[in-house]
Amino acid sequence: MPPETPPPYWVLISVLYSSLPLTPSLAMSLHQAAYDLHEKDESWGTVIGDLASGKVQNLHKVLAMGAISGPAFEAEVETERGKGKVRFLLTREGLALMAERQAGQRAPKKPAYLN
């Protein structure tokens, strides 16, 4: 069975501010670091990507931007384009998708019977 395709990064995070252009790879790295912090209720973590590294801070706040809301994070990253700061939130939809994936990975697969 092929591995599931991850959802696009714009479903998982919503960027409030970025001093540098975000690539899909950097956005997914930020999401993973922030999601881990959110799940463990920790304040600081690291982000390591193909061409980026830095620190991510859990702001322990829920922010809303229009109809999108979720826990807020701030990252200081260094990329091939220089240093930058990114403020973003994990979307509620993205959190729900990640929870479904984790539940699916933990639950044993039942065989599918035709009759």
Count of H helices and E strands in the chain?
Answer: 3, 5
Band of pLDDT at residue 113, cut at 50, 70 and 90: low
CA–CA distance, 81 with 52 (Å, rounded to integer): 9
Model pLDDT for residues 84-112, shown as the tens digit of each residue: 999 999 999 999 988 888 777 655 555 55
Burial class of 68 by CB neighbour count within 10 A (0 to 12, 13 to 18, 19+): middle
Band of pLDDT at residue 2, cut at 50, 70 and 90: very low
Model pLDDT for residues 15-74, shown as the tens digit of each residue: 999 999 888 888 999 999 999 999 999 999 999 877 889 999 999 999 998 889 999 999
